[in-house]
Structure 1
């Protein structure tokens, strides 16, 4: 067959069109159900919840551990955040039977890795290995949970590194805005301590880190997820055997958050800043509320993805910003909405005006059927993508378990999204996105921005 000549070649525009106009997109087929995998969900005598799932896509296994790890003082005034950060950065430095090199060698021998992180709510462990190396991965995990020594020389090095990272991060506008927003929303609740102060880290001793591990790293209320090319029952039994020594104590759960109440935004002065950070937040509902699917779709229409009203207005039409978004922040105690954007100082007040305008417009001019359908397709697709890999599925299941939900929730959620009507999205938009429901902060150069913000109103200024 001869190749087409230049006279017979069609452009992309011609291929996508007919004499009557653009080709219509074919209708979407019915949403396929997500099959339930082979799974075991059990609670050990220690109080550790173990969820093991067979996903034989590749001969690997993913492990996720979430341990409630809250500050026992119940305030943001203690050194818990600093001690917890150093614990997470030195826990792999050695145990009573393994050096740091020994830990690395044992994991490398099974194609494995382990990583620890901590926040005000929980300590998290993420790891993977070849499926045949599950026993080794669990053995190393048990060793560091039960017998990490946190050597003083390692602590000294990590303390210096952590102080340097915190000092660099603390100068970042996004970090300043996040800290100010958390304090505006929750006062002195320990959830606001997402990053300790450098002076607090410098004061941490090795004895304090080792004492925190012994007193707070407990199995009761923790969740361990294993996903991979394994038999679920056998994997759960292996976990129970490997962690047989981790038996007593209830992990420390974060106390309930104070109610998020609507009030004026707070102007946080950042002298000389050439860019301003706008952060607005309001109460929402979590995954178990029947309104949650409609709220998700309304949020997407506002600013949850690129084809949204905020992006169209602030970025495409006004050119105020490169990025604007709205999102749902979920925790075991509830949920909040977050609307955020960064703009040049000279358009701080106009950008806030347009943000409030889009919130009000969503509430009184709800998403159209086309907007809802576009958001629906995006949301369902994102959910399905999150379950396609072992790593994504393990992280999703661990997150759900932290909220008291089983993996069936994520498999059933696409059907709930498909069932949402345009009227239900409109109701969610009116209920949750009215501008008067929000509070938050504006981090900006007050000398350049305060006058415009005062004229706009609804902002506490110096």
Structure 2
């Protein structure tokens, strides 16, 4: 009989297999990385473009261009693009993040020859019609006005600006920035950024030589290069900064605490991720156990280490009852100090190690997630030895090493603290 009162023994993950991509090159030197899986007649093609030509006077260029990319070309209207994509059962999306903008196509292989020309038209002939731009500006201004009433949004905006200033990582977007968006600026940015000399293609799924020939036919020729200068920023850790925005009517206060830190390229990154998991990186973390489960101050609290191209940062984020905000802050700093003064127990460390290895294994559920893991290392200038080292570090790190990392990277005197609500 199975004894359901007894938890099963931990079994540590010993090996994780990654699918490595095959690299090929289009006729115009655009690199194509293919992660093949022939189980389903489905393919995902990602066109990835570095965010470039940063202009602090026009901070919305990259964001607006990406959002409006499929809103009309010199051949097709926004409606026609959507109808044609839908007709073939395909899915087409654009996405912007702090370092890159992407265009992603999901389609059945048998329809590649029909949908790739549509994507090519979008990536080479987008026009950003003024009518569509006006609608976008109106909608985004309304959305921003709503978001500016939310304490958590305000805390994140203040936090990013405190760490990164008026760069693409930290610019404080305001209503006036939307009013300054011009169609001609978007066209100029589009021609420079969405060009073959600023493009990397990552394909995952069932993609054979015939598929590559179709891709090369559409994107390997008659696609003009742009004049792109990749965004590059340098940062220095700001002095401890405390920002308190009082909103007397608030029932909850938003808290954001953190500092500049290392990114994925640094040798300590894996160890710091383990330390972060202990602190606030999973549901059983110390912050959750203390501030949610024990004190009942919040529905959720977490911490993270974010790796960007030009920087990295550590953060703690939560929303707590306005009447317990000060107490919650004290408990957060208390948990940080405990990591710096007391070694982590064997049982807790073993639990975190198994959680992290299991999460890594579980995150590789399909070929698309293997492609995502590849992108993480490729655009950081790393190779698959990064994951080997990461797994090895998770298995072997000691409590004493984590204590040293806590004292090296969790300096409360340098933490930026943002509170929006009541304190």
TM-score (normalizing by structure 2): 0.90
Q: Which residues of 2 match residues 2-401 of structure 1 at below 5 A?
A: 15-17=3-5, 23=6, 25-28=8-11, 31-37=14-20, 39-42=21-24, 46=28, 48-73=30-55, 75=56, 78-81=57-60, 83-193=61-171, 196-231=173-208, 235-243=211-219, 244-249=221-226, 251-401=228-378
Q: Is the 8 A contact 1:360 1:434 kept in 2?
A: no
SS in 2 for 1:323: strand
Note the alpha carbon deviations across 1:228-261, whole angstroms, 9 max, x for none: 0113x66555433321233423544222231223
User: In structure 2, do the counterparts of structure 1 residues 392 and 24 end up closer, same or farther at CA, with 3 Å as the change threshold?
Assistant: closer
For 1:387 and 1:134, locate their aligned partners in 2 and report how far apart those are by CA, in whole Å. Answer: 26
SS of aligned partner of 2:243: strand
| Cα 1:175–1:370 shift into 2, 3 Å | same
RMSD, aligned α-carbons: 2.6
Unpaired segments of 5 or more residues in structure 2? Answer: none
CA displacement at 1:29 relative to structure 2: 5.2
Report deviation, 1:43: 5.4
Superposed CA deviations along residues 144-186 of structure 1, whole A, max 9, x for unmatched, are 1110122222222222222222222222212111111112112
| Structure 1 gap ranges (5+) | 1-9, 18-22, 450-462
Number of residue pairs aligned between Structure 1 and Structure 2: 422
| CA distance 1:245–1:68, change in 2 (3 Å) | same
Contact kept in structure 1, 2:33 and 2:201, CA below 8 Å: yes
Query: C-alpha displacement at 1:406, in angstroms?
Result: 4.0
Contact 2:19/2:370 (<8 A) preserved = no
- TM-aligned CA distance change 1:416 to 1:362, over 3 Å: closer
Q: Distance in 2 between matches of 1:205 and 1:32?
A: 52
Give the Cα–Cα distance (whole angstroms) in 2 for the partners of residues 213 and 406 of structure 1.
30
Over 3 Å counting, the alpha-carbon distance change for 1:139 and 1:196 in structure 2 is: farther
- Structure of greater Rg: 1
Structure 1 distance, partners of 2:40, 2:84, is 21
